């Protein structure tokens, strides 16, 4: 079986450790991108994040699940020197 998927790369220019890739089905891509962008913005501004000690990957994943979007999330590994 072959399933077409699309990739969303979420990263921060200011925090190099914040770098992940989301794989989503083609039909969910636009909604997933919208939810991911909003979730990442909210991560910095929503008091619930700090109160409940959310990490950014868990927060984004939770928001995608709330929106009913299936995804796979992969984090960037440590770079070699």
Model pLDDT for residues 57-71, shown as the tens digit of each residue = 999 999 999 999 999
List the one residue out of 80, 74, 65, 79 whose CA is nearest residue 19.
Answer: 74
Model pLDDT for residues 17-49, shown as the tens digit of each residue = 889 999 999 999 999 999 999 999 999 999 999
Q: Is the pLDDT of residue 74 over 70?
A: yes
pTM of the model as a whole: 0.85
Q: CA-to-CA distance for 11 and 67, rounded, in angstroms?
A: 21
Structure tokens given for 45: 């501004």
């Amino acid at each position: 079986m072959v399933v077409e998927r699309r990739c969303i790369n979420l990263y921060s220019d200011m925090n190099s450790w914040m770098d992940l890739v989301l794989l989503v089905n083609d039909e969910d891509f636009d909604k997933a991108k919208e939810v991911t962008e909003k979730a990442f913005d909210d991560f910095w501004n929503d008091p619930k994040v700090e109160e409940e000690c959310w990490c950014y990957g868990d927060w984004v994943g939770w928001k995608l699940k709330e929106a009913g979007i299936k995804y796979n999330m992969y984090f960037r590994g440590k770079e070699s020197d």
